[in-house]
Each structure stands twice: as structure tokens, then as C-alpha cells.
Structure 1
Amino acid sequence: MADKPCCEPVAQNDCCDGATVLIYPCSGSSDVGEISDHVGRLLTREGVGKMHCLAGIGGRVPGITLSAQAAGKILAIDGCPQDCASKTLSVAGIQDFSRVRVTDLGMPKGKTPVTEENTKVVAEKGIEALRTSALRATA
């Protein structure tokens, strides 16, 4: 059986010209990692894109990797300067993605409450990053 993308394409709102958008938060164990996870879930609920499995990319799960390669746009949400989401995508050969880093938005690791307000600030930056990015060449 040939490997196939694990998910059907999802039509998206006006954020990204109808492109399939996949969102990869780091979902790390710190406060800023938790915020990244909340942002991924919020953007999914709002129809901006679909939160996808970063661990599947790191584990080279074929269907998950193929879905990422076929996506029109990708947003990596890194919690801190370790940049685990971005590095995981890059190491797997997935390029041309947008990214936002929570700590770059005045939210220091280990000192930032996980609040709806902080989640919305990061989500807005993620939407802005997606809006200003071109469609991926491999899409």
C-alpha cells in the first residue's frame, strides 16, 4: 500500500486564499510551550488551519510527513529559542513555512501565565505570518 497523506485537505477561510494550512505548535512542557499548544487549538477552532502532529513529523510517520509536504501553508509555533517546532520541520526536509516564537512577543519562558489574552496575542501574530507568506512551492 502506497503511503498517502493522513488527512483530507481542508478548505480554509480568507486568511490564506483557500490553501490547506497546517499548524505545528511545539506544545513543550513550559508555560510558553503550553501557550503554543493553546494557539494551535484556537486557530483550528477558528478555521484558520488544522493543528497537526509535530511528533509524527519527528518520528517520520509517512502519512503525517506527506500531509506536511503537500500543505499550501505551514505555521510553526515555537515557544522559546530552542525552536523545536521549526527545527523538527526543517530536519524532516519541510521548508518554506511561517513561524512565530512566543518568547519574542514579550512572554518570557517560566514567567508567563497561560491566559486567553496571551493566547490571542500569539494567535494574531500567527495569522499575520500566514497572511504575509506565499504559498509553498511544493503545494
Structure 2
Amino acid sequence: MTEECDCKKRNIMILACSGNCNAGQLANRAAVELTEEGFGAMLCLAGIAAGLSAFVQSATDADLLVVIDGCECACGRAILENAGIPLEKHVIVTQLGICRNSALLLKTEDLAVVKDAVRLAFKYPIKAIAIFKSPKTLSPADQARSRSLGGRCC
């Protein structure tokens, strides 16, 4: 069976947590920026939770769904499960090495990590949006891995 690149599927819906911590706000901001960049389109998670038929139908009709949850509570995933909508891709911010805290200040490098994790969840070409200097020297193996994932380093 030949696998098809997810970029051929045009209707990618992004549902994001918007919890009251840095992780929830990173999830939401990543969804906004991915939408602005044309990766997919945000859909209102609260509308699905409220059982509003238009939102539930949009999620059901989507070719691909991704939920970006801020933490392991996984409220976004639970909302889809309660609505009977199958979840295809799931990214949890705190599983990306980002510590949850009550500060609502978002770090640019954390946002880049979340967006890249969403892109990597799909078989989808990753565009180089920004280049960040690593604060530490990468091993040759890590440099090769970074380049194989589309990164530029060293």
C-alpha cells in the first residue's frame, strides 16, 4: 500500500487547548500561527464541547484532525472523544520538554518546538521558518538528525 503525503489532503483542522498556563497558551498560539502560515485551519474546540452542530460537523468532515493539548489532562482529546469524533494526531506541549507554569509569557523557541511537533505529526513537508542558534554544541549524530528533519545547523 502506497502512503500518500498528507499535504495532498487540503482540509486539516487544528484544535487547540487555550488553558490558563504557558502550555495552554503555547498550544493556542501554535494553532493560530500554523493557520496563518496555511498549514491548516483552526476550529473552535469550545464549539465542539458545547455540542454545536456546525462545529461538530466541521470536525467530522475534516480530512485530518490534530489536537494540540497543553498538558497531560488532554482536555482537547477528551472533548473529541465525548463528541464521538476520531482523533488522528495528538500533540501534548508538556511532552515536548516544555515545563508547565502559571506564567503566560511565551518563549519564541518553545513556540517553534510546538509548531514543529505538529508538522512532524504529519507526513508533510516542513518549511524552514526560523533558524535558532543552539545554546550548546550538537554531537555529529544530532547534527545529522537535525538536517534529516529539515533543520539547518553547524
Same fold (TM over 0.5): yes
Partner SS, residue 15 of structure 2: strand
State the 4+ residue runs in structure 1 displaced beyond 2 angstroms.
none
Tell me how far apart the structure 1 counterparts of residues 19 and 123 of structure 2 sit (CA, whole Å): 25
Instruction: Report the counterpart of residue 66 of structure 2 in structure 1.
Output: 75
Is 2:24 the counterpart of 1:33? Answer: yes
Tell me how far apart the structure 1 counterparts of residues 111 and 11 of structure 2 sit (CA, whole Å): 22
TM-score (norm 1): 0.80
Structure 1 residues not aligned, in runs of 5+? 1-13, 133-139
Instruction: Report the counterpart of residue 101 of structure 1 in structure 2.
Output: 92
Name which structure has the greater RCO, CA cutoff 8 Å, separation 6+: 1
In our comparison, the structure showing a higher alpha carbon Rg is 2
> Partner amino acid for 1:17?
K
Tell me how far apart the structure 1 counterparts of residues 26 and 32 of structure 2 sit (CA, whole Å): 10
Structure 2 residues not aligned, in runs of 5+? 125-154
Q: Number of residue pairs matched?
A: 119
Compute the RMSD of aligned alpha carbons.
1.7
Percent identity between the aligned chains? 32
TM-score (norm 2): 0.72
Instruction: Report the counterpart of residue 82 of structure 2 in structure 1.
Output: 91
Contact 2:14 2:67 in 1 (8 A): yes
Instruction: Report the counterpart of residue 119 of structure 1 in structure 2.
Output: 111
Residue 17 of structure 1: CA displacement? 1.1
Partner SS, residue 76 of structure 1: strand
> Partner amino acid for 2:64?
K
Residue 16 of structure 1: CA displacement? 2.5
